[in-house]
Amino acid sequence: MKTIPQTKRTALKRLPKRGVFEQEPVYRILDEGFICHVGFIADGQPFVIPTGYARVDDSIYVHGSQASRMLRNLEKGIDVCLTVTLIDGLVLARSAFHHSMNYRSVVVFGQATLVTEREAKRAALRALSEHMIPGRWDDARQPTEAELKMTSVLRLPLAEASAKVRVGPPLDDDEDYSLNVWAGVVPLKLVAGEPIADPRLQVDVPVPRYAKEYERGK
């Protein structure tokens, strides 16, 4: 299995046994998530901004308005830290100290570059749409030239990345296993509800299958 080389920034110092450096599981986590948090420093002030994203091959793409402070700063090539976290369960231990969560997370370090070529930008925007809900891009109106000019797209390579994963039951102290306290895991997952039509929807427009049967899972 292909691995992502470890660096000083991606090497796990706490609980290194939870570290994952194989490319496939790292990409699988990224492909399941919706929101990333992008950390950077601008004018001496740290910022962490939540935003949508998409992975295409060995890169992450984010987009937004050309007026966005995050995008205006990242396109300068400053260092960025991007994170994605999925919560799979609440881990209830016998002691309050050992309560935890089952999770899968990815951290990416690097410098982003601005996507300027028109077709490359359109391809990235399509990937962002398809990452959210596959099939939607072809149904929706395509971006106009004015909308493309108003939108910035940034590419962050996945050359410096790692995952951290916790699975399984609680880990209590040996003397606590005899306590008469329930312990275990409360599983959590994202579940789509019934689509809700826009009040201004034209008459007799059917709900597309990709909305009716939407699933997001492992």
CA distance 172 to 177: 7
pLDDT of residue 73: 87
pLDDT tens figures, 172-181: 999 999 999 9
Residue 114 lies in a domain: yes
Residue 3 lies in a domain: no
pLDDT of residue 17: 73
Helix (H) or strand (E) holding 124: helix 118-132
Residue 180 lies in a domain: no
pLDDT tens figures, 49-75: 999 999 999 999 999 988 788 888 888
Residue 217 lies in a domain: no
Cβ neighbours of 72 (radius 10 Å) = 15
Q: What are the two backbone dihedrals, phi and then psi, of residue 96, each rounded to the nearest 5 degrees? A: -60, -30
pLDDT of residue 107: 96
What residues form DSSP beta bridges with 91?
A: 100, 185
Residue 38 lies in a domain: yes
CA distance 132 to 152: 18
10-residue block means of pLDDT along the chain (218 residues)? 84 74 92 96 93 97 88 89 97 98 97 94 97 96 94 95 96 97 96 95 94 83
Domain span at residue 36? 16-170+185-212
The CA–CA distances, whole Å, from 92 to 117, 176, 189, 207 equal: 50, 13, 17, 40
CB 194 within 8 A of CB 207: no
pLDDT of residue 21: 77
pLDDT of residue 217: 64
CATH, residue 76: 2.30.110.10
Residue 129 lies in a domain: yes
What residues form DSSP beta bridges with 106?
A: 84, 163
Residue 55 lies in a domain: yes
Which DSSP symbol is given to 66?
A: T
CB 33 within 8 A of CB 84: yes
Q: Domain tally for the chain? A: 1
